[in-house]
Structure 1
Amino acid sequence: MPHQPIQSSPPSMTWLLRYLRPVKWRLLALLLLLLATTALQLLNPQLIQRFIDRATGGGSVSSLLTLAGLYLAAAVFSQLFSVWLSYLGNDVAWRATNQIRANLLQHTLRLDMRFQNVKTPGEMIERIDGDVNSMSNFFAMFVVKIIGSFVLLAGILGYMFAYNWPIAATMTAFTCLSIGIMFRIRDLGVSASQSERQANASLYGLIEERIAGIEDVQANGGVPRLMNRYHKAMRAVFLAGRKAWMLRIMPWNVTVALFTVSMTAVLMVSVYNYLHGRITLGMLFLFFQYTQMLNDPIEQLGDQLQEFQKAKSGMRRAQELLSLKSEIEDGEGDELPQGPLSVSFEQVNFSYNADQRILHDICFELKPGERLGLIGRTGSGKSSISRLLLRLYNLDSGVIRVGGTDIRDLRLKSLYRRVGMVTQDVQLIDGTLRDNLTLFNPRLSDEEILETAGRLGLRPWIEALPQGLDTRLSAGGTSLSAGEAQLFALTRVFLTQPSLIVLDEPSSRLDAATESMLQKAVDQLMERCTGIVIAHRLATLDQVDKIMMLRQGRVIEFGEREALAQNPSSEYARLLRADRQEERA
């Protein structure tokens, strides 16, 4: 059954502190910088106030120059601190959010194939990267800016109470009302922001899916239909984004309206006091400047609440993903016998969906070093057997043993260390040929790589490349022909020296001459392991020990290859006769 997200609790401070703790000293430096910048912001209006009062009161030129110099120095340091603040804030953001990305990716890679099959790569990119991007500003500046805004508010209101309490009381009332309303409606846009993220994820999933199948889209004239789906997805993104934005800016809109009223009231009181000689012109400017400055922290709080809503939606989606658990539970066993491994299936039943069983009571046994050939029509269950053997899915019932141990009791790392599989689709990563063959295993030397590649006939191709093993390959497999990709996949698996190997159509993309050469090399390499070969070409199975035929998920024939081949009534013998007649024709 497809995974259903486990209902997770709202993002908690414990979850956030987990990622902020490694950058705590940088956060402290960020806070100190912000406090220094705030102090300079409070100082500048007072310098101007004193400059105006001294200028209008006949102060000396030297005192005016001193005040001007202090103002200039404060402005320069304020700008330097702002640049440093921005740099340090982004540094904190990337350090914290990169750890979240890493944890999300690691968790996603450990989820089972039932989850992977219903999620497109484009959607998962948006979940792992896009959702986390929405948290960046939160980790960078949210806590610091909230603290800095309150410090600046306290400083402004403190100065105002020292100079004129009626004006200070008016400003305090406006501040408390604005902050109260903002925090009251702080979650207004969170749900809408989650819907916006999901709409983006669906769009990216559609784009990735269609680009991956571009040959089929173009060859079958599907571009107009694709564009129609794209426009519908884009409209969904637009509508969800517009709704989320309108809800997120509600706190800011409220503060703008309140600030306009407050600004008018403060200016009227200040002008009245100035006209009646109660305050100087410089003091009038100071009140005006502080009133203007009062809007900055309030506006910052509004902006940060918008960022908080976006971040909270990203956190919810991240926690939702992290709350999913794989149906494949890791075992605790590490030990397997040395050398080739035995394999046994005991009454194995399996289904991808609850209403459609794929495998029915599969039973067979392979001794260490034996090779099994799997035959059956498309959909008979051959690939399902290999997937179950590698625990890509859980079986419905029964037992699979490798080396005499139930695979459910083994650690997945221990199983994958001894079992290898070659599929028909070869996946390349953007890296060197060496990286692709070894999957970044530094313990494999170039000599081992070339020796294994040579036995599979791939060495001449490697040596013909301009930079040999250092040649860079592009992701997706376009750097290799179909035959080269098949040889490449075999080399990659045999480099791990598996004790049990599954070959899914190992020669399906090779010509007859290359297939004959490859078969000899595979036979040599498989002398040290147990093998299961899935094949449509019967010639591929000439060297196997046993044959198992499947039909609609059931074993219809199992036995020694030679015995089945010599038994004229066996299904395998019938297929051999039909194959020879086809070759003669």
Structure 2
Amino acid sequence: MRETKVTGKTYDIQLLRRLGAYLKPYRAYFIWSVVLTIVIAATAPLLPLLVEYTLDHFILKGDYSGLTLLTLLMLGLLLFQTLVRYYHTLLTNTLGQSVICDLRTQIFAHITDLRLKYFDHTPIGRLITRTVSDLETIADIFSEGLIQIIGDILQLIVIIAVMFYTDWRLTLIVLIPMPIMVIATYFFKEAMKSAFQDVRYWVANLNTFLQEHISGMSVIQYFAREKQEMDKFKAINAEHRDANIRSNWYFSIFFPVIEIIMAIALGLLVWYGAKSILSERISAGVVVAFIMYINMIFRPIRELVDKFNTLQMGMVGAERIFSVLDTDERTPNKGILKPNHIHGAIVFDHVWFAYNEEHWVLKDISFEVKPGETLALVGATGAGKSSIISILSRFYEINNGTIKLDGIDIRQYELSFLRKTIGTVLQDVFLFSDSVANNINLHNPSITREAIVEAAKKVGAHEFIERLPGSYDYEVKERGATLSAGQAQLLSFIRALVHDPKILILDEATSAVDTETELLIQAAIDTLMKDRTSIVIAHRLSTIQKADRIIVLDHGEIKEIGNHQELLRLNGYYKRLYDLQFHSASI
């Protein structure tokens, strides 16, 4: 899924107000940044004024008595301006980084609070772009954008006011090329706005492509798709390159144009200033000061365009960030109940569920699991088995019906409490780039090393962990790449055991292991299920024959319910699945 283009406004008041709310904890930084901005603008014309006074009253008159004092005064002024600019840059960057630190924390917390449905249609690479690079553009609003723009505008106002006060005719001569510069600036700003949107669009697509293809590298190599995927990457990378080249091309045109306009203004100043000096209407010091003023006028105007572009980038970034924060796909009605004890009775009462409203995945599902019982779910792929455990943990919300835990609607339980009550062992085990121990306890300080070792012994994984370099401190690589599928599955069993859930869900938990490993952990599974309500999904019917009850699902509907022997006597769906599987195994 490709990124959608966002057309932001250069100055969106609503977005700026929203960003302003994040400044409240750092109000002192902001106030001091504004104060220093005013100081920089107010002191900007002082150096040209001092040069003018020195030239007219001391150098041209041959009076060197006060020259040393004024030279020291100018050096002191330069030192003062340097210190002010240093602290101004430090404060604005600290302000920007502090704001995006808070924003990044908020957006990550928001993302972790979203329902899984959101991630079904949102590429992970896009969220990474939002959380990293788009946030950096917001920092630039404060460090290089808004405050700097205000400072440059104030400096222009102060300098032009001093120029008019000094000599209004000379000032008008200098400003003659200004309309050309305003027109050039406007067209450059619009061109850069479009160019930046293209750059951000292709950056997001590039991140999305890389994330998906690096994660799925094994599939690419299994099916020898390296060349085809490389061609796709080259196309996206080329678009990204071209977008950046276009933005640089606009810069390469704009800045020479500004230099030409500045040269025209300087030429007019020298021409008119020389005539005025010869007619003794103005002094040479005034002309020299005005030459300095020209650079001080044109430099901020030239940089204003870049800063408006930075502001535009920040506005687009803010719009993208707030579009994620405004996503209303969090789990509704998180509940408040946190009882001290859960018995583990589960009731599905006429439950209907669909990932989208067009296709029902579960149709009028009703069943009951008593505390301590084991329920098995069987059926073909797509029958709805995994959907049942997803809605039980409220990863998705049901459309109709009720799911109850101990006679209470699961929506009344606090969400984190509900999910801690239900321990799930999945077929596709996810392991983090961390130690074995931390992958088991998930950094829960209440789970001790002793508890981890004890659980590993029960599962039968202690010996293989001890053989790893570093034992329980062995660094597991991303997604458990350095472990076998069976070893990773064993770690997921230990993880479930140490968290001691009241309800246990095994979703194809032994399908990824070999027969020897399956036998190794079967006894551990029996121990794990003891005194726990359990729901087991398995393709291997041999693993569920001990279940108290078995539900046979087909296309989201319950076809049969009973224990293993009862279902065989029915000579229906389950019997056909059983005969097919064991007949295939005997061939």
When the two structures are superposed, what TM-score results if normalisation uses the length of structure 1? Answer: 0.89
Report SS of the residue matched to 1:550: strand
Gap runs ≥5 in structure 1: none
What is residue 273 of structure 1 aligned with on the other side?
Answer: 276
Q: Does 1:440 align with 2:443?
A: yes
Sort the Cα spacing of 1:452 and 1:199 in 2 relative to 1 into closer, same or farther, 3 A: same
Structure 1: how far apart are the matches of 2:468 and 2:44?
63
The equivalent position to 1:394 in structure 2, one of 397, 408, 412, is: 397
Contact 1:189 1:245 in 2 (8 A): no
What is residue 60 of structure 2 aligned with on the other side?
Answer: 56
In percent, how many aligned pairs have the same letter? 28
Which string of whole-angstrom CA distances, capped at 9 and with x for unpartnered residues, describes residues 296-317 of structure 1? 2222322211111111111221
Which string of whole-angstrom CA distances, capped at 9 and with x for unpartnered residues, describes residues 464-501 of structure 1? 44444443332222132211110111222222221112
Contact 2:338 2:414 in 1 (8 A): no
Sort the Cα spacing of 1:294 and 1:313 in 2 relative to 1 into closer, same or farther, 3 A: same
Report SS of the residue matched to 2:348: strand
What is residue 337 of structure 2 aligned with on the other side?
Answer: 334
Sort the Cα spacing of 1:264 and 1:403 in 2 relative to 1 into closer, same or farther, 3 A: farther
Q: Does 1:323 align with 2:326?
A: yes
Q: Does 1:494 align with 2:489?
A: no
Sort the Cα spacing of 1:243 and 1:70 in 2 relative to 1 into closer, same or farther, 3 A: same
What is residue 154 of structure 1 aligned with on the other side?
Answer: 157
In the TM superposition, what are the counterparts of 1:532-551 in structure 2 within 5 Å? 532-551=535-554
Contact 1:182 1:302 in 2 (8 A): yes
| Residue type at the aligned position of 2:571 | S
Q: Does 1:348 align with 2:351?
A: yes
Which string of whole-angstrom CA distances, capped at 9 and with x for unpartnered residues, describes residues 397-425 of structure 1? 22222222222333322211211211112
Offset of residue 337 of structure 1: 7.0
Sort the Cα spacing of 1:296 and 1:6 in 2 relative to 1 into closer, same or farther, 3 A: closer
Sort the Cα spacing of 1:571 and 1:329 in 2 relative to 1 into closer, same or farther, 3 A: same
Structure 2: how far apart are the matches of 1:505 and 1:467?
30
What is residue 113 of structure 1 aligned with on the other side?
Answer: 116
Offset of residue 114 of structure 1: 2.5
Which string of whole-angstrom CA distances, capped at 9 and with x for unpartnered residues, describes residues 423-464 of structure 1? 112222233333322222222222222222221122233334
| Residue type at the aligned position of 2:331 | I
Offset of residue 37 of structure 1: 4.0
Offset of residue 505 of structure 1: 1.3
Offset of residue 249 of structure 1: 9.8
Sort the Cα spacing of 1:447 and 1:351 in 2 relative to 1 into closer, same or farther, 3 A: same
Report SS of the residue matched to 2:333: coil
Contact 2:15 2:319 in 1 (8 A): no
| Residue type at the aligned position of 1:59 | D
Which string of whole-angstrom CA distances, capped at 9 and with x for unpartnered residues, describes residues 111-168 of structure 1? 2222201222212211222222222210223232123223322331232233212234
Structure 2: how far apart are the matches of 1:249 and 1:463?
62
Q: Does 1:14 align with 2:45?
A: no
| Residue type at the aligned position of 1:456 | V
Offset of residue 286 of structure 1: 0.6
Contact 2:547 2:564 in 1 (8 A): yes
| Residue type at the aligned position of 1:345 | F
Offset of residue 241 of structure 1: 4.8
RMSD: 3.3
Report SS of the residue matched to 1:12: helix
Report SS of the residue matched to 1:372: strand
Q: Does 1:136 align with 2:139?
A: yes
Structure 2: how far apart are the matches of 1:529 and 1:494?
11
Report SS of the residue matched to 1:514: helix
What is residue 89 of structure 1 aligned with on the other side?
Answer: 92
> What count of residue pairs does the alignment treat as equivalent?
581
What is residue 571 of structure 2 aligned with on the other side?
Answer: 569
Structure 2: how far apart are the matches of 1:183 and 1:97?
30
Report SS of the residue matched to 1:391: coil
What is residue 301 of structure 1 aligned with on the other side?
Answer: 304
Contact 1:348 1:399 in 2 (8 A): yes
What is residue 421 of structure 2 aligned with on the other side?
Answer: 418
What is residue 379 of structure 1 aligned with on the other side?
Answer: 382
Report SS of the residue matched to 1:357: coil
Q: Does 1:102 align with 2:85?
A: no
Gap runs ≥5 in structure 2: none
Report SS of the residue matched to 1:442: coil
Q: Does 1:233 align with 2:236?
A: yes
Structure 2: how far apart are the matches of 1:568 and 1:105?
52
Contact 2:175 2:265 in 1 (8 A): no
Contact 1:339 1:528 in 2 (8 A): no
Which string of whole-angstrom CA distances, capped at 9 and with x for unpartnered residues, describes residues 270-325 of structure 1? 22211212222222111111122111222232221111111111122122222221
What is residue 409 of structure 1 aligned with on the other side?
Answer: 412
Offset of residue 191 of structure 1: 6.1
Structure 2: how far apart are the matches of 1:403 and 1:8?
51
Sort the Cα spacing of 1:413 and 1:174 in 2 relative to 1 into closer, same or farther, 3 A: farther
Structure 2: how far apart are the matches of 1:465 and 1:128?
36
Structure 2: how far apart are the matches of 1:98 and 1:76?
33
Sort the Cα spacing of 1:135 and 1:184 in 2 relative to 1 into closer, same or farther, 3 A: same
- Range with greater deviation from structure 2 (398-407 or 499-508): 398-407
What is residue 528 of structure 2 aligned with on the other side?
Answer: 525
Structure 2: how far apart are the matches of 1:7 and 1:350?
37
Structure 2: how far apart are the matches of 1:320 and 1:580?
53
Structure 2: how far apart are the matches of 1:412 and 1:176?
62
- Range with greater deviation from structure 2 (158-167 or 210-219): 158-167
- Range with greater deviation from structure 2 (82-91 or 99-108): 82-91
Which string of whole-angstrom CA distances, capped at 9 and with x for unpartnered residues, describes residues 33-90 of structure 1? 4444445543322333334332221122x53233333333433443444344333332
Offset of residue 265 of structure 1: 3.9
Report SS of the residue matched to 2:45: helix
Offset of residue 19 of structure 1: 1.5
| Residue type at the aligned position of 1:527 | K
Structure 1: how far apart are the matches of 2:500 and 2:348?
23
Contact 1:349 1:362 in 2 (8 A): yes
What is residue 460 of structure 2 aligned with on the other side?
Answer: 457
Report SS of the residue matched to 2:329: coil
Offset of residue 535 of structure 1: 0.5
Which string of whole-angstrom CA distances, capped at 9 and with x for unpartnered residues, describes residues 4-36 of structure 1? 999999543330111222222122333344444
Structure 2: how far apart are the matches of 1:525 and 1:401?
23
When the two structures are superposed, what TM-score results if normalisation uses the length of structure 2? Answer: 0.88
The equivalent position to 2:513 in structure 1, one of 503, 510, 525, is: 510
Structure 2: how far apart are the matches of 1:283 and 1:446?
80
Offset of residue 523 of structure 1: 1.5
Sort the Cα spacing of 1:235 and 1:212 in 2 relative to 1 into closer, same or farther, 3 A: same
Structure 2: how far apart are the matches of 1:554 and 1:245?
60
What is residue 562 of structure 2 aligned with on the other side?
Answer: 559
